[in-house]
Amino acid sequence: MDCLFCKIAAGEIPSTKVYEDDLVYGFLDIDPQAPTHIILIPKAHIASANELTEENAGVVGHIFAVAAKLAKEQGFADAGYRIVNNCGKDGGQTVGHLHFHVLAGRNLGWPPG
């Protein structure tokens, strides 16, 4: 499948890896929007949050647990952080493979733009 994040997870396109297990791949965003900007993706191709079902959504909980582990390991758990999923055109999704942004290292502001 011609999918950028499938290729990154498979190592066919280089990335700065921060986490990997059987289900999830984590890497640094190429255009960071905060001092820490990690992308966490399921290795299985899921096009967007719209494609989640009771059958495939378990990986989302796992991704949040991975984010919590990275937050503790990288030292931003106490200061806080934001986990973001952009879905579809109005949501600002630009890559058609489900992914979660983990943003930390500055006050992120609210509401989002």
For residues 25 and 40, what is the distance between their CA atoms, to the nearest angstrom?
6
In this complex, which beta carbon is closest to ligand 5GP, that of residue 9 or of residue 55? 9
Listed ranges 60-68, 72-80, 89-97, 104-112: which one lies at the site for ligand 5GP (CB under 6 A): 89-97
SS (H, E, C) 92-108: CCCCCCCCEEEEECCCC
Looking at residues 14 to 53 of the shown chain, list those that interact with ligand 5GP (rule: CB under 6 A): 15, 27-31, 39
Angstrom CA distances, 50 to 30, 33, 65, 88, stand at 25, 24, 21, 8
Q: Which does 15 bind (CB under 5 to 8 A by kind): ligand 5GP, Zn ion, none?
A: ligand 5GP
For residues 9 and 43, what is the distance between their CA atoms, to the nearest angstrom?
6
Do 24 and 43 contact (CB within 8 A), yes or no?
A: yes
Q: Out of 23, 83, 95, 108, which residue is the one contacting ligand 5GP (CB under 6 A)?
A: 95
Q: Which does 97 bind (CB under 5 to 8 A by kind): ligand 5GP, Zn ion, none?
A: Zn ion
Q: Which residues bind ligand 5GP (CB under 6 A)?
A: 4, 15, 27-31, 39, 86, 92-95
Give me the active site residues, please: 99
